Amino acid sequence: MNVDFLIVGQGLAGTLLAWEFERAGFSFAVADAGRTDATTPRAAGIINPITGRRMVKSWRVDALLPLARSTYREIAAALGEPLWRDLRVRREFAKPNDRLVVRQKKATGVLAPFLGPVDDDGFWIDGAGRIDLDALVRSTRARWQSQGRFRAETLALKQEAQRHQLVIDCTGLQGTTNGAFDFVPWEFSKGEILEIEVPGLSPDVVLNRGHWVLPVGPGRAWVGATHEPGKTDTTITDLARDALTASAKDMLARAFTVVGQKAGVRVNLPDKRPVVGRHPRETSLGIVNGLGAKGALIAPALARQWVNHLTEGVPFDAEVDVARFFPDRP
């Protein structure tokens, strides 16, 4: 299929980019090798507006969340699948001082509109959500296969750049080693998740106390996620299993059964921001990568940046532009 734009990699970044390209009426195709260790199908897909030990708003969440929510709902409606779910997060205090910090933030309004009721044991976070990433990738892939837009192939970026107006690398971990964007200071973090059977959970509440418990279906939940900086393997470990089991016991206070375990690798950058944009010298090459743990929140906006750039010549946001890492930036 002769197309202007080729998206290489159909994880979260490639899927959202292809969706925006389809909406814009672009001539495009998607190529994916179908790696069994791909991270996106293993990820939880949670969007949590208030995160971290310091209990702060996720980066740019006030602007990013409405776009993410509307995009995922649009995709779900178009595909006729329940991919998106609105959630609340119940976060328990881990340290005595957390209670005072949150109450102070409640008084100042710095966490509005997401900070809900606060009590002696924890607080509620409103406006959270979850996109079923595995179903998202599978359903959109079937759509593009039926349209003749999908290629199940492993491709060399630079060779493909000679055949298309633009080739955009969305291959995640694989894209950090292909040489095209080797000037980017990639960082990595391995994460593991448990799959459990547990009765009686509220389907629309995520429990959070260091780790989280996410209901994913009747009598089923995921527990996650661990964080091992620098690790790039997807081997499951007893150490992670024990840590997540202990956290689940602490949060659930009820019997559960571990039925599965999976691991994936997050790609990050030192400044905790993703990368998007054209290669500073080889302008027929582009990228979306480094989404880290907040990819579900960020990916729709990065895809929209590409469309705005290609249709109106809008520059990429300097805070996420891949060119910020280029040593001889034009």
Question: Per the structure, how many domains does the chain have?
Answer: 3
Q: Residue 207 pLDDT > 90, yes or no?
A: yes
Q: Is 213 found in the same domain as 201?
A: yes
- Decide if pLDDT at 190 tops 90: yes
Measured from the Cβ of residue 152, the count of other Cβ atoms closer than 10 Å reads: 12
Q: Are residues 33 and 155 in the same domain?
A: yes
The answer for residues whose C-beta is within 8 angstroms of residue 34's C-beta and 6 or more apart is 152
24 part of a folded domain? yes
Whether residues 305 and 191 share a domain: the answer is no
For residue 153, the domain's CATH number is 3.50.50.60
Given a cut of 90, whether residue 143 has pLDDT beyond it is: yes
What Cα–Cα distance (Å) separates residue 311 from each residue in 26, 102, 121, 191, 283? Answer: 10, 44, 50, 37, 16
pLDDT tens by residue, 232-258 = 999 999 999 999 999 999 999 899 999
Q: Which pLDDT value is given to residue 305?
A: 98
Of 8 and 39, the structure prediction assigns the larger pLDDT to 8
Q: Is pLDDT at 160 greater than 90 in this prediction? A: no
72 part of a folded domain: no
DSSP E strands, 103-238: 115-118, 122-131, 150-151, 166-169, 187-197, 205-209, 211-217, 220-224, 228-229
| 312 and 198, same domain (yes or no) | no
pLDDT recorded at residue 253: 87
Alpha carbon distances (Å) from 294 to 52, 152, 238, 323: 12, 27, 26, 21
Q: How confident is the model at residue 36 (pLDDT cuts 50, 70, 90)?
A: low
Higher confidence at residue 2 or residue 126?
126
Mean pLDDT of 177-199: 95
Does any domain span residue 54? no
Question: Cα–Cα distances in Å, from 103 out to 22, 57, 58, 116, 119?
Answer: 45, 15, 18, 11, 9
Specify whether 253 is located in the same domain as 290.
no
Cα angle for residues 285, 288, 291 (degrees, 5° grid):
160
- In residues, how long is the chain? 330
User: Is residue 149 predicted with pLDDT exceeding 80?
Assistant: yes
Residues 38 and 26 sit within 8 Å (Cβ to Cβ): no
Task: Tell me the pLDDT tens digit for each residue of 50-90.
Answer: 999 899 999 999 999 999 999 999 999 999 999 999 999 99
- Contact indicator for 195, 256 with CB cutoff of 8 Å: no
- Asked whether the predicted pLDDT for residue 330 surpasses 80, the reply is no
- Shared domain check, 150 and 99: no
DSSP of 297-328:
HHHHHHHHHHHHHHHH-PPPPTTTBGGGG-TT
User: Three-state SS for 161?
Assistant: helix
Cis omega (within 30 of 0) on the bond before 246? no
Percent share of the chain, pLDDT over 70 = 99
Asked if the structure places residue 229 within a domain, the reply is yes
Q: Is the peptide bond before 113 cis (omega within 30 degrees of 0)?
A: yes
Please indicate, yes or no, whether residues 179 and 276 belong to a single structural domain of this protein.
yes
Domain boundary residue, one of 221, 240, 268: 268
Residue pair 84/76 in contact by the 8 Å Cβ criterion = yes
Going by the DSSP 8-state scheme, the letter that residue 58 receives in this structure is P
Q: Are the CB atoms for 309 and 316 separated by under 8 Å?
A: yes
Q: Is residue 74 part of a domain?
A: no
Task: Indicate whether 123 and 136 sit together in one domain.
Answer: no
Task: Please report whether residue 62 resides in a domain.
Answer: no
Using the predicted structure, report yes or no on whether residue 2 has a pLDDT greater than 90. no
What is the C-alpha to C-alpha distance for residues 41 and 27, in angstroms, rounded to an integer? Answer: 26
Tell me how far apart the alpha carbons of residues 61 and 306 are, in angstroms, rounded to a whole number: 19
Q: Tell me: pLDDT of 1 over 70.
A: no
| pLDDT for residue 188 is more than 60 | yes
Residue 329 has pLDDT above 60, yes or no: no
Of 58-62, 92-96, 128-132, 298-302, the poorest mean pLDDT is in: 92-96
- Are residues 200 and 179 part of one domain? no
Q: For residue 230, what are the domain limits?
A: 187-268
Answer yes or no: do 33 and 145 share one domain. yes
Q: Average pLDDT of 308-314?
A: 98
Indicate which CATH number applies to the domain containing 242. 3.30.9.10
Same domain, 264 and 191: yes
Q: pTM for the full model? A: 0.95
Asked whether the predicted pLDDT for residue 170 surpasses 60, the reply is yes
